[in-house]
């Protein structure tokens, strides 16, 4: 089986081809500009992971919402449940970049963190 990938690890976006037999561990990878591309393709085939960015409601802030993101990618199938957890949150201003909104969200090993400083409105 042959499957093409575009590596998203760095801006070079190498076009990588993986050749493998389903159920077998051996994977032949061609086109990666560096070893990180090989790792990316193996991870995608074995257990795809994604990171997400979203926003959380903010009370008494200069803005009504504040942007957040995961600090590590999580298994792709967890994304809807993680989004649901993020949407349940409501924070009180002020908030700062790097503040942890949810530690180890859904036991994923990833934290939801703030990505923008927002001061209190009053
Ligand atoms: S394979 Fe290496 S050089 Fe190519 S996009 Fe991925 S990380 Fe960048």
State pLDDT tens for residues 26-78. 899 999 999 999 999 999 998 999 999 999 999 999 999 999 999 999 999 99
Instruction: Compute the distance from residue 22 Cα to the ligand 1 centre, in Å.
Output: 24
107 pLDDT tier (thresholds 50, 70, 90): very high
Alpha carbon nearest to ligand 1 atom 2, residue: 34
Write out the residue limits of the CATH 3.10.530.10 domain(s) in the chain. 53-114
DSSP state of 61: B
Atom of ligand 1 nearest to the CA of 12: 5
Cα separation, 21 vs 5, in Å, equals: 16
Average pLDDT, the chain: 96
Say yes or no to pLDDT of 122 above 80: no
Asked if 28 and 19 count as a contact pair (C-beta separation under 8 A), the reply is yes
Q: Record the pTM.
A: 0.81
Alpha carbon nearest to ligand 1 atom 3, residue: 33
Give me the pLDDT at residue 23, please: 79
Instruction: Compute the distance from residue 94 Cα to the ligand 1 centre, in Å.
Output: 38
Q: Which residues contact 105 (CB under 8 A, 6 or more apart)?
A: 70, 74, 82, 85, 86, 111, 112
Say yes or no to pLDDT of 24 above 90: no
- Best CATH choice for the domain 53-114 from the list 3.90.950.20, 3.40.50.11540, 3.40.50.300, 3.10.530.10: 3.10.530.10
Give me the pLDDT at residue 104, please: 98
């Amino acid at each position: 089986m042959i499957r093409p990938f575009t590596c998203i690890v760095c801006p070079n976006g190498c076009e990588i081809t993986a050749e493998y037999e389903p159920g077998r561990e051996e994977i032949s990878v061609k086109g990666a500009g560096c070893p990180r591309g090989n790792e990316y393709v193996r991870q995608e085939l074995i257990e795809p992971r994604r990171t997400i960015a979203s926003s959380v409601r903010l009370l008494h802030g200069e803005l009504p919402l504040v942007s957040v993101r995961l600090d590590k990618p999580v298994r792709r199938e967890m994304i809807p449940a993680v989004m649901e957890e993020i949407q349940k949150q409501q924070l009180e201003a002020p908030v700062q970049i790097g503040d942890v909104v949810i530690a180890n969200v859904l036991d994923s090993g990833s934290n939801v963190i703030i990505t923008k400083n927002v001061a209190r409105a009053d």
